[in-house]
Amino acid sequence: MKNLKRQWKFIVVLIAGAVGLISQFALHSKSLFSIGNLQFPVHAIIIDIIGILMAISLLLEIFHDWKTGRYGVDILAVIAVVSTILIGDVWAEWMILVMMTGGETLEDYATGQANKELRALLDKTPRIANKLVDGKITEVKVDDLQVGDTVLIKPGQQVPVDGQIVKGTSSFDQSSLTGESVPVTKNPGDELMSGSVNGDVAVEMKVTKAAKDSEYQSIVALVKSSQAQPAKFVKMADRYAIPFTVISLIIGGVAWAVSGDATRFAEVMVVASPCPLLIAAPVALVSGMSSMSAHHIIVKSGPTLEKLARAKTFAFDKTGTLTENQLIVDQVVTDDKSFDQKELQSLAASVEQQSSHVIASSLVKATDKDLIHPVTNLKETTAQGVEGDVDGKHVKVGKLSFVAPGHEKLNVTSTAVYVSVDGKFAGYITLKDKMRPESPKTIERLRRQGAEDIMMLTGDHKQVAEKVAKEAGITDVRSELLPSQKIQAIKDVPKHLRPVVMTGDGVNDAPSLTAADVGIAMGAKGATAASESADAVIMVNDISKVNDAVAISKHTMKVANIDVLTAIGVVIIIELIAFTGVIPAFWGAILQEVVDMITISLVLLAKTKPSDKQFGLEEK
C-alpha cells in the first residue's frame, strides 16, 4: 500500500507538469492574480497546489519520525519546495517534486530488484496437491491436507507437505532446502520434505505433517517475518543526517546573506535535497538481505546486518551447532572376559534398536546391521534404560544404577551406556559428539574476519565440552550452564567486545538467542523455538554459513557507507557551486535527480560477491 501511494504521488506530479506545460505554452495562460512582483498564472497555481500538498505530506512524515526519536534530513526537501514557491520558480519547484516522488519510486524499484530472491521463495510455495481417495485423484488446497492423507506426487512436482513415501522410488531435488546439489533417491518408508521437487517417477506419499508445520512452509513463514519487518537504516542514516542538514543550511544562508538575494538560498536548497542519503541506506540493506537469502540465510530485519558487520564476539552452542545431532561410538570397554568388544556392542545395539533416544539411535547406527539381532520381551523403564532377551541372554542397557547396582563408584566422564548380561555387569560403551566437519574452519575464518572473542556456551559436562572446544579451536569454554546462565554470560560481555552474536539450534537456546545482539539459529530442520527467537536463520545444515552472513554484512555496510559519503560529498560540492549562482534552480533540480540515479545504481553493488578477505579466506 505504501509503495502504491508513492507511485500515485509520482503520477500526480507528472500529470500536473503536463497540464502546466499545456496551459503555459499551448493555451498561453495568463496570470489570474499577482502578489507584489509574483505572478500566478494557471500552470503556476496547479504546480504550487501540488507542491504545498506534497510539502504538508512530507511534514507529517517528519513529525511522525520525530515522535519516534528519529531526526532525518527530509526537512531539506520541504525547505527546497517552499523556497521555490516563494521565489516563484515554478518549473524548478516541479523538478524538485519530480525528484522527490521519482526518487521514492526508483527506490521502490531498486528495492524490488534487490528483493527478488525473497519473493521467488514465496512464489514457489506449493498451493495445490493431488489427493488420492479410493484410487481417484482429487485436486485439493495444500492447507486442506490432513495427517494420514495419501498424496500422489507426479514427476517434476513439488512435495506439498512433509510426508513419507508409501509407494514408488524416485529422486528428489532438495537444493532449495538443504543446499545439496545432487538429487537424493527416496524409497518407500523414507521421509519427504515439502518444497523438494520430484524427479522422473510418480510416488505416493502419506502426509505426516499439516501444511503449517511442514518444512517449506516453515521457511516461507520466516521470509514473511523478514518482509513484515522492513529494513530501517536508522543508525547510519541518522549519524549523517544532522551534520548534512546543518552544513546545507549554513551554505544556503551564507549564499543569501552574501548575495542579498533569496533566490540564491533556494538554488542551494534545491541541490541540497537529501534523496541520496534517504535512498542509498535502505536499498543497500535490502540488497544485503537478498544476498543472504541467496546463500540460504533468512534475515528478519535490516539492522541485523549492521550489527553483524560490527560483531566482535561470537558465542556457539555445542550440540547440534558445532557438533551434529548424532553421537559416535568412542570406546567399548568390557568387564567380563566372556564377552569381547564386538559382542558387547552387538548385544547392546540389539536391545536399543527400537528406542528413539539419541544415544540409542546413535549406537544402533554405529553398529553393523549383521550384528543387530532380534529382541524379545522388550521392556523400557522411563529415564533408566531398556532390557530384553537377545540370543537367549537377558540384556540390560542404560544407567549404571539400573544396569548394575553396586558399581556406582565406576568413574566414567564421557557420555556412556552400561550393559549387563544375565544380571552380571558386562561393561560400558562411551559415545562422543560428532564434530561438524566445517566447524574448525568456521572458527578459524571468524578470527580472520575480525572476531576478537569466540566462546562455547553449553549445558554439557566440563570434560566433554572442553574436548569438543579443543577440536573446534575454541579456548573460551563455559560448560554445565543452565539457559539463564547462558543469558548471563552474554550480558556479561564488556561493551568494547560487542555486538555479540549467538548461534544455536535447540529450544534451550531460544532465550540466549534473544539476549544476544544478533541471534542466529540453525533452522535446517524447520521452525523451532530457536529460529522463531533468532534475528537470522540458517536454512541449510552448514555452520560455515555464519561466515557467509558476516561477509555479506561487512560488504553491504561497506558499500552503503561509501555510497552515502560519496553522495553527500558530491551534493556539498554542487551546493558550493550553486553558492556562486551559476546553477539556476531548475537545472539544479535536474542535476540532483542525476545524483539520485547514480546513487541507486552504485548501492546495488551490495548484491555483488564480497571479497575473499571479507569471507575470511585470506590470511591476516
Q: Are 159 and 199 in contact (CB under 8 A)?
A: no
Could you tell me the three cell numbers for 92? 524548478
| DSSP output for 327-353 | EEEEEEEES-TTS-HHHHHHHHHHHHT
Per-residue buried b or exposed e for 62-85, using 16+ beta carbons within 10 Å of the residue's own CB: beeeeeeeeebbbbbbbbbbbbbb
Q: Coil, helix or strand for 514?
A: helix
- 207 - beta bridge partners? 163
Q: Are 215 and 266 in contact (CB under 8 A)?
A: no
- 39 - beta bridge partners? 34
The number of CA neighbours under 13 Å toward the Cβ of 353 is 21
Q: Are 431 and 416 in contact (CB under 8 A)?
A: yes
Could you tell me the three cell numbers for 114? 534487490
CA 221 distance to own-chain centroid: 12
Could you tell me the three cell numbers for 79? 525547505
Could you tell me the three cell numbers for 383? 529415564
Q: Let me know if 89 is a catalytic residue.
A: no
Could you tell me the three cell numbers for 582? 551559476
Angle (deg, nearest 10), helices 215-228 and 116-123: 140
Query: Using CA of residue 34, residue 36, residue 39, residue 42, what is the dihedral sign?
Result: negative
Give the helix, strand, coil percentages of the chain, each rounded to 5.
Answer: 55, 20, 25
Query: Using CA of residue 404, residue 405, residue 408, residue 410, what is the dihedral sign?
Result: negative
Continuous segment of H or E residues that includes residue 203: strand 203-207
Place of cell 535512498: 279
Please name which of 144, 173, 178 lies closest in space to residue 161, comparing C-alpha atoms: 144
Compute the distance between CA of residue 435 and CA of residue 538 in angstroms, rounded to an integer.
18
Compute the distance between CA of residue 322 and CA of residue 474 in angstroms, rounded to an integer.
11
* Helix boundaries (H) for 408-502: 439-448, 462-472, 483-491
Q: Coil, helix or strand for 60?
A: helix
Q: Which of 74, 173, 317, 433 is catalytic?
A: 317
Query: Using CA of residue 326, residue 330, residue 336, residue 338, what is the dihedral sign?
Result: positive
Compute the distance between CA of residue 142 and CA of residue 269 in angstroms, rounded to an integer.
56
**End-to-end alpha carbon distance in the chain:** 48
Q: Coil, helix or strand for 242?
A: helix
Q: Pairing relation of β-strands 536-538 and 518-522? A: parallel
CA 397 distance to own-chain centroid: 43
Report the catalytic residues: 317
